[in-house]
Structure 1
Amino acid sequence: MSLQILIVDDDLSMRMLLAEYFRRLGFAVEEYESAEEALEPALSGRFDCFIFDVTMSGMSGLDLLKRVRDRDINTPAMFLTAHDAVDDKVAGFQAGADDYLA
């Protein structure tokens, strides 16, 4: 059984690039354009890893991860984003991220 990765990013090209990369490595990938679409799957507990963008229309990746963590789901989570200020990184870790790549 392959590891399950949830990717949430409103940038189609980034989302497709990440999904294709991980699929070629043998991972099972689900991808969503918005945090709202991804909320229910993220809360299902079936994923081994989350990769979220921070800024999306509607709910942010930060808010998505906070909701997941509020349900005691401790799936490893990483933010992949252009937001590289120290305050942005701190906010990501405070939201519950395990890693933050800017």
Structure 2
Amino acid sequence: MRLDHRLLRARFYFSRKGEKAAKFQNRSPRTTANWEFFNLLVGYWEGAVVDNIDEEYDRLIQHLHVSAVKAESSTSTKRRLSPETLELICHRGIARAAGNRELTSEIGKQCR
């Protein structure tokens, strides 16, 4: 009786394996590219794409410049913090540089 059970399992295993193989065989073939047509289209688009890339590059440079100017003007951030908080931040930096973890932690809690 044990032998029959093993044969049943083996048949089921192989039939499942066959089902998987059949599923892969029924797939459509890979798409192939028509390179001649592709090269023809690239020839038409080449000039327009180069102009568009130049415009996009100029826009990127302008955006980076504006972002850098905004980042450098951290005075707006400092204005939002009270003088006491700025002083605590300064003391916390000194404590951190000295390696005093307890004081750094305490000052950090006060800054919150």
Which TM-score band applies after superposition, normalised by the shorter structure? under 0.3
- Which structure has the larger Rg over C-alpha atoms? 2
Structure with greater strand share of residues: 1
Length-normalised TM-score, structure 2: 0.18
Structure with greater helix share of residues: 2
